[in-house]
Amino acid sequence: MKKKDQQSKYSFYDILGVLILSSVLAFGIYFSYGLVKSFLDEEQSIISNQVWCENCQTYHDKQTAEEENQSQKLIWCVNCNKYHAPGQE
């Protein structure tokens, strides 16, 4: 009788498949954890009433930011035929 060559139980591709599957699963868990954390934690929240201010390099609430943007917009004044901020004559 011929002796069968003893091969290892798992081939290289079996181990590679398990590694790829485990890394995809780990990424999915990490992403889900971050998503749940962002919805539950106020400071980490994606849904926020604040916007990023490029001048100050910090967050401001939306109402203040919109008021600042409105005050900085220039409008055409028919009286003096110039552009200037609203309310400045």
Q: What confidence score (pLDDT) does residue 71 get?
A: 66
38-88 confidence digits (pLDDT tens): 888 777 666 667 777 777 777 778 877 777 776 667 777 777 777 776 666
Mean pLDDT, residues 11-21 taken together = 95
Closest to 71 (Cα-Cα) out of 55, 87, 53 = 87
> Would you list the domain boundaries of the chain?
12-84
CA 42, 47, 50, 51 torsion: positive or negative? Answer: positive
Distance linking the first and last C-alpha atoms of the chain: 107
Categorize the per-residue pLDDT at 1 as very low, low, confident or very high, splitting at 50, 70 and 90: low
User: Which pLDDT score, from 0 to 100, does residue 23 have?
Assistant: 98
**For residue 54, what are its two tokens?**
């490029």
Instruction: Inform me whether the pLDDT recorded for 28 exceeds 80.
Output: yes
The partner residues of 51 in beta bridges, in order of sequence, read 60
Q: Is the pLDDT of residue 20 over 70?
A: yes
pTM exceeds 0.95, yes or no = no
DSSP 53: E
Question: Are the CB atoms for 53 and 60 separated by under 8 Å?
Answer: yes
